[in-house]
Every structure is written in structure tokens, then in C-alpha cells.
Structure 1
Amino acid sequence: MKITTWNINGIRARIEGAIAYVREARPDVLCLQEIKTVDEGFPTEAFADLGYNVATHGQKGFNGVALLALHPLDDVRRGLPGDDGDAQARYIEASVTAGSLSARVASIYLPNGNPVGSEKFPYKLAWMQRLAAHATALLASEMPVVLAGDLNVIPEPADAKRPDAWRNDALFQPESRAAFRALGNLGYLDAVRACHPGPGHYTFWDYQAGAWQKDDGIRIDFQLLSPQAADRLTAAGIDRFTRSWEKPSDHAPVWTTLEPRL
């Protein structure tokens, strides 16, 4: 099972690139973030023509997440538990079965949290606490779980070309990084870091100041695997070539492959 996550930064603005990528990469499951449309505005038919089932949790103008799969999407959950008053569309999960392998996959767009001194930063940290609580609950199923998406955290200095430039940013605050580590302490494995240790592996390059041309990037998109999923991990990577396309997203797709146990 190949699972890919991609912050598309507006599905309607980047539909041509999204379709081209899906045709080339052909993931079994594609997790999208920042679709920036209501459910009815998502180009479902374009992906259905390629054989994909689609589930969305959209929002007008911003946020929004989606799951696309070559297999049925079962038991779809929209919204992160723990706060019924949270209207932001940032979380969707479903079960997917490909052959003999079944997994619970989530597409996540974690709050940015900037500026740090505003109400947005406490919202980010509270959201991460809710995510940790739900991630704990998912472990109880003993089913392979993949938490995929734009988590808006730079976990370590090695995850930024210029870490000092991010010292005052919500993505690199000690509280944000500690909340990310808490997911690892639960037993979730950072798939890309497990397969590619060391610096230089980025998933986001700003549109400004020639960041892409300078490879001035950060790693903020992840696939976090439960122990049952980690046991099946065979490869992971970043398809950074998409960042050089015409009218690209500022994020690159992150993928993993899981194989059934023999």
C-alpha cells in the first residue's frame, strides 16, 4: 500500500498538477490538505475518472482536508474529537484495505499557530493535545494507523535549512516541538526520518525570496506510523520534483509504502 500526503494549497488552483501527479505516482491512498473548498466544490469527478474514491471535509476559502483511495473508504470520520465547538475543517480519517493489508489513515492539517502572542498559538497547542488523545485511542484498535499531513511543526534544527530564522515562529517553539515528540513517545514512527536520517530533507519552500532555488526549506509534512504500521514500512520519501512545476504548491508530497506481513 502506497500512501501519499500533500498540502495542495488550493485544489482548484492546482488541479492540473494534482491530476498529473496522481497519474505518475499512482498512490493507493492520497491525503490532501488545504483543499480550500467546500465539499461540493471539490473536483471529485476528475479523480473518480482515475479510479479514486473520494471523501472530503471541506471549508469555504481555507483549510479543508480530503482522502482519495483506489479502494473503498470505510468508516469515515470528519473532524478531530475533543471539541465540538471547533468549526475548522482540519481532520479526516478512514479505513482502507488493499489486498491483505488494512490501515486506518488520517489526513491532517494542523493549525499554524502564528503569531505566537495571539490566541492562535494556544489553539494550536490545544489541538495537538486533542490529536495526542485521539492517537492514543487509535492505538487500542491494534490496526495499522497512519497519521499523515501538514503538521506545521519543525521538530529539530536539522529539519530547517536555517533554523535560527524560525526561532520566533510557532512552528519551532519548544511547546510545539514537545507536543510533536509526545506523538513519538506514544509509539508513532516518523517514517521519512526513519528511512532518511540527517539534514536536507525538506517538504516546504516559501514562494518568497527564492527559497526553492536556494533549497531554503523546512520539513513540516509527515507520516507518523503506529507500531503495527511501522512493522510494515518498506520505504518512504519526498517527491520534491513537484515544487519545480509550473504553478506549484509550496509543499511537496510525502509518501510511504507498507507491505503485508509474510
Structure 2
Amino acid sequence: MKLATWNVNSLNVRLGHVLDWLQANPVDALCLQELKLPDDKFPHEVLRAAGYHACWAGQKTYNGVAILSKTPPLDIQRNIPGYEDEQQRIIAATLTGPDGKPVRVVSAYCPNGQAVGSDKYAYKLDWFQALRGWLDEEIVRHPDLAILGDYNVAPADEDVHDPEAWAGGILVSDPERQAFRDLLELGFRDTFRLFDQPPRTFSWWDYRRLGFRRNAGLRIDHILATQDLAARCRECTVDKTPRGWEKPSDHAPVVATFHTA
């Protein structure tokens, strides 16, 4: 079973990229972030024609998340239960794996935070706390659970192209990294770090200052899986190819492959 995540930075702009990538990489599920379109503009018919069911939480201009899947999404959850938030950042669904067993999948677009100490930074930390509380319950109900998305956190210095320049700043500050570790402490594993990886592997590169060409990036897109599911993970990679396409997203897809139970 292959699960993938991709912040497409506008599905309207990048729909062709998504369709081309899915044709070349027919994953079982693709989690999308930053749709930047309202619910009624979601291209579900085009995606269905490409062989994918979909569930989504859209928002005009900002945010928005979706799950594209080979099997119909069940028990769909939109946003964090009990957490009042106008920003559309979470969609969850139960999918049927190739072995017929259920896998709970969450697509998450975690807040950026803007700047350490700002109101948006406080919102980010509060949002992560709410996410942790919800996942603490979800992990009990769903032994096979994966949360995929743009976390807007580079967990360690090895995930940053220039740790000294970024030290203490947004995306790498100690409270943000602690919020990420708090998720791991629930019983999740960072599937990318289950394997030896090429050094300086990132998933996001700034459009400015030739970030991609210089590989001046961060690894902020992650696939976390519960212990049982992570034990069956056989590979996790970043596909940099779409980042080199014309008018690309500033993020690249991350893909994890799991053996069935």
C-alpha cells in the first residue's frame, strides 16, 4: 500500500501536475494540502475519471485539505473535533487496504506560525496541542493510522539546509519541535527516518533566491504512522521531480510504502 502527501499550493493551478503525477505514481492514497479553493470548486469529477475517490475540506484563497483514494473514503472527519477553527486544516477518512483491512488516514495542513512570538505562532502551538489531544483518542480506535501532511516543522537540524541561519526561527524553534515530538510520543513514527536517507533531503524549497536549484530547503512534509503500521513500512522517499516542473508547487510529494498485514 502506497500513501503519499503533497502540498500543492493551489489545486486549481496544479491540477494538471497532480493528474500527471498520479498517472506515473498510482498510489493508493494521496493527501493534498493548500487546495486554496472552496468546496464547490473541488474537481472531484476530473479526479474520479482518473480513478480516484475524494473527500475534502475546502476554503477560498487559503488552506484546504483533501484525500484522494483508490477505495471510497469512509467515516469522514472534517477538522479537529471540539476545536473551533474557521481554517480548513484537517480531513480524515478510513480507507480499505489491498488486504481488505482498514487504514485510518489523516491529511493535515499544520499552521505556519509566521514568526516566533506572534499571534499566529501562539495559534500554531495551540492547534498542535488540540491535534495531539484528538490523535490520542484516534490512535486507540485505529491501530493502523497515518497522518500525512505539511507540518510546517523541520524536526531536527539535519532537516534544514542551513541550521545556523535558521536557528531559533519559525519552523525550527524549540516549542515547534517539541510539538512534533509530542506526536511521536503518542506512539507515532516518522517513516522517513526509519531508513537510511541521502543527506540534505528536503521537501520544501523557497521560490526565492533559487532555493530549489541550490537545494536550500527544509523537510517539513511528513508521514507519521502508528507503531503497527510503521513496522510494515518498507520505504519512504521524497519525489523531487515535480518541483522541477514548470510553475511548480514549492513542495514535493513524500511517499511511503507499506506491506499489507
Please say whether Structure 1 and Structure 2 have the same fold, judged by a TM-score greater than 0.5.
Answer: yes
**TM-aligned CA deviation for residue 197 of structure 1:** 4.5
**TM-aligned CA deviation for residue 116 of structure 1:** 1.8
CA distance in 1 between counterparts of 2:98 and 2:199 reads: 35
**TM-aligned CA deviation for residue 109 of structure 1:** 0.2
| Structure 1 position 91 matched with structure 2 position 68 | no
CA distance in 1 between counterparts of 2:212 and 2:147 reads: 27
| Structure 1 position 59 matched with structure 2 position 49 | no
Deviates more, 1:160-169 or 1:27-36: 160-169
Instruction: Check conservation: 1:148, 1:224, Cα contact below 8 A.
Output: yes
| Structure 1 position 143 matched with structure 2 position 143 | yes
Amino acid at match of 1:214: R
| Structure 1 position 129 matched with structure 2 position 92 | no
Match of 2:28 in 1: 28
Q: Percent same amino acid at aligned positions? A: 38
TM-score, with length taken from structure 2? 0.96
Match of 2:152 in 1: 152
CA distance in 2 between counterparts of 1:7 and 1:70 reads: 19
Q: Equivalences for 1:114-125 in 2 at 5 Å?
A: 114-125=114-125
Match of 1:250 in 2: 250
**TM-aligned CA deviation for residue 200 of structure 1:** 1.1
Match of 2:106 in 1: 106
Q: Look up the SS of the partner of 1:170 in the other structure.
A: coil
Match of 2:192 in 1: 192
CA distance in 2 between counterparts of 1:214 and 1:156 reads: 20
CA distance in 1 between counterparts of 2:195 and 2:50 reads: 30
**TM-aligned CA deviation for residue 82 of structure 1:** 3.5
**TM-aligned CA deviation for residue 99 of structure 1:** 2.7
Q: After the TM superposition, which segments of 4 or more aligned residues of structure 1 sit over 3 Å from their partners?
A: 196-199
Match of 1:180 in 2: 180
Instruction: Check conservation: 2:97, 2:260, Cα contact below 8 A.
Output: no
CA distance in 2 between counterparts of 1:221 and 1:113 reads: 15
**TM-aligned CA deviation for residue 170 of structure 1:** 2.0
Q: Look up the SS of the partner of 2:208 in the other structure.
A: coil
Q: Structure 1 regions of 5+ residues with no counterpart?
A: none
Match of 2:74 in 1: 74
CA distance in 1 between counterparts of 2:200 and 2:165 reads: 16
CA distance in 2 between counterparts of 1:247 and 1:22 reads: 18
Aligned residues: 260
Instruction: Check conservation: 1:102, 1:143, Cα contact below 8 A.
Output: no
Amino acid at match of 1:120: K
CA distance in 2 between counterparts of 1:178 and 1:117 reads: 16
| Structure 1 position 170 matched with structure 2 position 170 | yes
Instruction: Check conservation: 1:76, 1:93, Cα contact below 8 A.
Output: yes
1:34-86 CA-partner distances (Å, limit 9, x unpaired): 000011111111111011101110001010000110101000000012422x1
Amino acid at match of 1:67: I
Instruction: Check conservation: 1:109, 1:150, Cα contact below 8 A.
Output: yes
Match of 1:208 in 2: 208
Match of 2:19 in 1: 19
Q: Look up the SS of the partner of 1:201 in the other structure.
A: coil
CA distance in 2 between counterparts of 1:27 and 1:97 reads: 13
Q: CA RMSD in A?
A: 1.2
TM-score, with length taken from structure 1? 0.96
Instruction: Check conservation: 2:143, 2:228, Cα contact below 8 A.
Output: yes
Amino acid at match of 2:78: R
Amino acid at match of 2:91: I
Amino acid at match of 2:171: L
CA distance in 2 between counterparts of 1:142 and 1:213 reads: 41
CA distance in 2 between counterparts of 1:59 and 1:168 reads: 31
Instruction: Check conservation: 2:110, 2:152, Cα contact below 8 A.
Output: yes
**TM-aligned CA deviation for residue 198 of structure 1:** 6.5
